[in-house]
């Protein structure tokens, strides 16, 4: 897992004028989640991933974003995006991967990683379930009280 700000993301992945080819050296079965902080993101990134099997295990998580604009004209983006609260404008050159977003302005096509129609194939972290279970007797007492109140209202 990699935690970045928008400026750190741009410093790592911005490459104006270049082909934008990038390779991630991930061992088999290893996923890369890139958490990007920031609310309004101009992603001037041209990122043509060179290995679909590896790219399908890369996820950009824009967890604070309200807007994301892949501003590079005719650039591609080759990784999955998680931005459930953001309006995302896709790059004109299209994108490979899975996009889970709040809303989308689509300037280019979205494609699976390969002919097998593969979306994001990486792992997600396990989070402990912190939600305490409701004890059954308390739930029954609450349900019984609701029925008793409904019965009293019908009589009156």
- Indicate whether 18 pLDDT > 60: no
Contact between residue 58 and residue 32 where contact means Cβ atoms under 8 Å apart? yes
Surface-to-core class of residue 26, CB atoms within 10 Å of its CB (0-12 exposed, 13-18 middle, 19+ buried): middle
Percent residues over pLDDT 90 in the chain: 22
Q: Which residues pair with 5 in a beta bridge?
A: 37
- Indicate whether 139 pLDDT > 70: no
- Locate the domains of the chain by residue range: 2-125
For the chain, what is the total number of helices (H) and then of strands (E)?
Answer: 3, 12
User: Does this model's pTM top 0.85?
Assistant: no
Q: 101-137: per-residue pLDDT in tens?
A: 999 999 888 888 766 667 788 888 877 777 666 555 6
- Indicate whether 16 pLDDT > 60: no
Mean pLDDT of all residues in 1-26: 75
Average pLDDT value over all residues in the chain? 80
> Which is it for the CA torsion 63, 36, 7, 113, positive or negative?
negative
Choose between 16 and 28: higher pLDDT: 28
Contact between residue 86 and residue 40 where contact means Cβ atoms under 8 Å apart? no
Q: Dihedrals φ, ψ of 92, to 5°? A: -65, -30
């Amino acid at each position: 897992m990699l935690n970045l700000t928008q400026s750190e993301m741009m410093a790592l992945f911005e490459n104006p004028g270049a082909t934008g080819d990038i390779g991630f050296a991930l061992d088999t079965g290893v996923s890369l989640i890139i958490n990007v902080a920031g609310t309004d993101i101009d992603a001037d990134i041209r990122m043509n991933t060179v290995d679909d099997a590896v790219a399908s295990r890369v996820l950009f998580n824009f967890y604070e974003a309200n807007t994301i604009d892949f501003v590079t004209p005719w650039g591609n983006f080759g990784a999955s995006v998680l931005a459930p609260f953001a309006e995302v404008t896709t790059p004109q050159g299209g994108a490979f991967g899975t996009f889970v977003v709040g809303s989308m302005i689509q300037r280019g096509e979205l494609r699976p990683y390969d002919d097998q129609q593969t979306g994001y194939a990486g792992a997600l972290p396990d989070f402990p379930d912190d939600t305490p279970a409701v004890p059954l007797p308390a739930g029954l007492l609450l349900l019984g009280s609701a029925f008793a109140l409904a019965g009293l209202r019908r009589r009156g």
